[in-house]
Structure 1
Amino acid sequence: MSTAADYLIINALGALDNPNAAHSAATAGKLVQNSDDLVIDARTLADAHASGLTAVNITLGYTLGDMAPFEHTLREIEVWDAILRRHPADLLHVRTAGDLHRARAERRIGVIYGFQNAVAIGDDLGRIDTFERLGVRVVQLTYNQANHLGDGSMAPENRGLTPFGRQAVEALNDARIMVDLSHSGERTCLEAARISRRPVSINHTGCRALADLPRNKTDEELRLVASRGGFVGIYFMPFLNTSGHARAADVVEHIVHAVNVCGEDHVGIGTDGPVTAIDDLDAYRATLAEHVEHRRAAGVGAAGERSDTYPFVVDLRGVDQFRELIRLLERRGFGPERIAKIMGGNFAAYAERIWGA
């Protein structure tokens, strides 16, 4: 049986944080999480290393809220730059695909700077080059709602990209930044995948054929992204089951379906969560209802978010999450080569196509 240490493990969308630390716990019910709220302490780093994690695409910058998007995003980049400077023995800023392999060789955790909303671009495409110089490597076009680039998964009109959105995709291609279509509406995803000169990604999603919820992608979307050399990451989220109570078995089934649709060279993982598990689920549950209601009232929640469901898979979390997934994939009949691709090899190959070696 293989272990996590045998594989390059890349989380296409995740987090580095200790959600049990006092500061993080105090902000758990906030609608907007800032990088200043994160607690990256000894446990965070120890857990990340113990899990076998090689690299993770973290979310920074403006996603939603009342702050000025561009200025807030620059501030968030400064915060993460400072975090990396404080932990040079543990963390490595990933700018190229080669840095993913370097992180593993040096036993550090690669940190990929990514956005979950492109609002910070404003009306100035020149900002994309600024973000690239500052080390941003992934830009998700929309969050759940519509923005000035296109419609998100919860926008009822499903209008696709705007004219400015099409220009932004071209500029992101020029800058060799990943165009991430997670959270996008169906037409936005299909149009962006078709017009992009470089392969695009859906870094954290599920398969709508298995759970018909807006945050999951149709087979048409998955197939198109893969056919053009892109990448699809399956998340560990409640949207994998229409009951809202997703389990590890659901994660496996969505990976299997994605592989069947996309081919084994285009599927990976994007958990949408941290390695360090929440210790006190009862206390966390007390804040969850407030958090879900705030998101609903602000118009940024997604169908499937409920106060009685966790935003993670209960039996696939903590430092053993990757080892457990490997074990389940082996049980499902996947061999070491295919598992290696899913756990990180496919993302690394995709990153090389976009960022270069």
Structure 2
Amino acid sequence: MNRRTFMTNTALAAAAVGVNLSSGGAFASTSSATRISREQYNDWFVFDGLGVLYDINDPTGGIQDNWRMTERLRRDVLASGLSCYRQTTGAPFPAYPGDDAFEQAVTILSQHQKLIDANSDVLTLVRTFNDIEQAQKDNKVAVTLGFQNSHVIGDNLDHIDTFKHLGVLTMQLTYNGQNQIGGGANTNPRLPLTEFGHKVVEKMNESNVLIDLSHSGERTCLEALAASKAPVTISHSGCRALADFPRNKTDKELRLLADRGGLFGVYFMPFLAPNSKANSDHLVAHIEHAINVCGEDHVSIGTDGGYTGIDDMEKVQQSTDKMTQHRLDNGAAAAGEKIGNLNFMPDIVGPDQFYKLANKLADRGHSSTRIEKVLGLNAYNLMKEVWK
């Protein structure tokens, strides 16, 4: 019996006796729960499916004029235990067709590469999977680049290879709006993967580009999953069964993703709570629900945030509200984004967030083997498979 069959049978048996798995009922805390030691954690491959090098306490973001990270940012990133993260690049916000999206993508891509080059004692740009392995040996953080909106390729499939050669190994098909590929989370969920979208999926498969279906509308997501011949990721999302927001994924999407070998990353975002006031308990609940639906080999994390602690929560709330208002004004915001949100888990935020999450899962009775998979090993295996 494989893990997916075991988890399915466990869910059916639990339902028969009235255990609510969606709220984590199968993973009750036990007095014999084994804590994850620092030594054990430090040996793990820890992956963030969507992160950013940014110090929210610093007006410069923690990036100096010469593209060097401040000591605070450098210290917190290294202290986090992070092995690899995916950095958003490209131009996610402009609505399709956007005449300058390609040029914006190239410019932003160049800026991220300058940042990596300027901090090469700490960071390594991932161009092949071998770079991830080498970064591990060199005790550096591997940075893989990814788009959050593939509208930047326009109507030219060759641009997929162009961007891949520039270091973009993961491409999200849509952002919140509609583009030439399909529908995003803010659009009608019945919008299909377009005829051109099918060609995009085929081309990304041929080029060994990892397809990301975060932010996609439901039909576009399901049709892309069915069309792809390679495993795909939903790198940063939540479970619709626990919080009914368009940014979150239905169980139907999660099952098909896992059945086709893909990976679901749970984000550290307000959409994990029905009232958009999420904390790490919501995070754990979504991870557990995803394990119930997908199996432990198909679940990961993608914070959609950074790695520094918070010095002044009130000040950060004000800056977050300002950013949220900007996103609302320019149409980039998703349903559920509102003033008062915090785009991180306030009770574990900071360089210890992954270690704290590991032990919250341990306290719920999850094995160290499973926790290691969720924190990075599953992502490691997926990237190794797709980036041949």
TM-score (norm 1): 0.93
SS across alignment from 1:160: coil
In structure 1, stretches of 5+ residues that fail to align are: 27-34
Given candidates 227, 249, 269, the residue that maps to 1:217 is 249
How far did residue 79 of structure 1 move? 1.3
1:73 alignment partner in structure 2: 105
SS across alignment from 2:57: coil
Deviates more, 1:51-60 or 1:277-286: 277-286
Question: 2:90 aligned with 1:61, yes or no?
Answer: yes
Q: State the Cα deviation string for residues 31-79 of structure 1 (Å, max 9, x = none).
A: xxxx999873222221111010000001011111478111111112211
SS across alignment from 2:297: coil
How far did residue 95 of structure 1 move? 2.4
In structure 2, stretches of 5+ residues that fail to align are: 1-34
Given candidates 41, 48, 62, the residue that maps to 2:70 is 41
Instruction: Give the number of equivalent residue pairs.
Output: 348
Identity in percent: 42
1:140 alignment partner in structure 2: 172
2:208 alignment partner in structure 1: 176
1:194 alignment partner in structure 2: 226
Q: State the Cα deviation string for residues 130-182 of structure 1 (Å, max 9, x = none).
A: 01111111100111111111100110353121111111111111111111000
TM-score (norm 2): 0.86
How far did residue 303 of structure 1 move? 1.5
How far did residue 25 of structure 1 move? 8.9
When the two chains are superposed, the root-mean-square deviation of aligned CA atoms in Å is 2.0
How far did residue 297 of structure 1 move? 2.9
Over 3 Å counting, the alpha-carbon distance change for 1:350 and 1:340 in structure 2 is same
Q: How many Å separate the matches in 2 of 1:36 and 1:77?
A: 17
Q: State the Cα deviation string for residues 186-223 of structure 1 (Å, max 9, x = none).
A: 00110000001111110001011111111100011011
Letter in 1 for 2:237: T
Aligned partners of 1:189 and 1:221 also within 8 Å: yes
Q: How many Å separate the matches in 1 of 2:136 and 2:368?
A: 18
1:89 alignment partner in structure 2: 121
Question: 2:357 aligned with 1:325, yes or no?
Answer: yes
Aligned partners of 1:17 and 1:39 also within 8 Å: no
Question: 2:299 aligned with 1:301, yes or no?
Answer: no
Aligned partners of 1:17 and 1:38 also within 8 Å: no
SS across alignment from 1:46: helix
Question: 2:88 aligned with 1:51, yes or no?
Answer: no
Over 3 Å counting, the alpha-carbon distance change for 1:119 and 1:283 in structure 2 is same
Q: How many Å separate the matches in 2 of 1:304 and 1:167?
A: 32
1:271 alignment partner in structure 2: 303
Deviates more, 1:54-63 or 1:310-319: 310-319
2:144 alignment partner in structure 1: 112
Deviates more, 1:65-74 or 1:172-181: 65-74
SS across alignment from 2:235: strand
How far did residue 24 of structure 1 move? 3.1
Aligned partners of 1:117 and 1:142 also within 8 Å: yes
2:161 alignment partner in structure 1: 129
Q: How many Å separate the matches in 2 of 1:108 and 1:24?
A: 21
Aligned partners of 2:321 and 2:341 also within 8 Å: no
Q: How many Å separate the matches in 1 of 2:67 and 2:259?
A: 37
Letter in 2 for 1:224: L
Q: How many Å separate the matches in 1 of 2:195 and 2:209?
A: 19
Aligned partners of 2:68 and 2:115 also within 8 Å: no
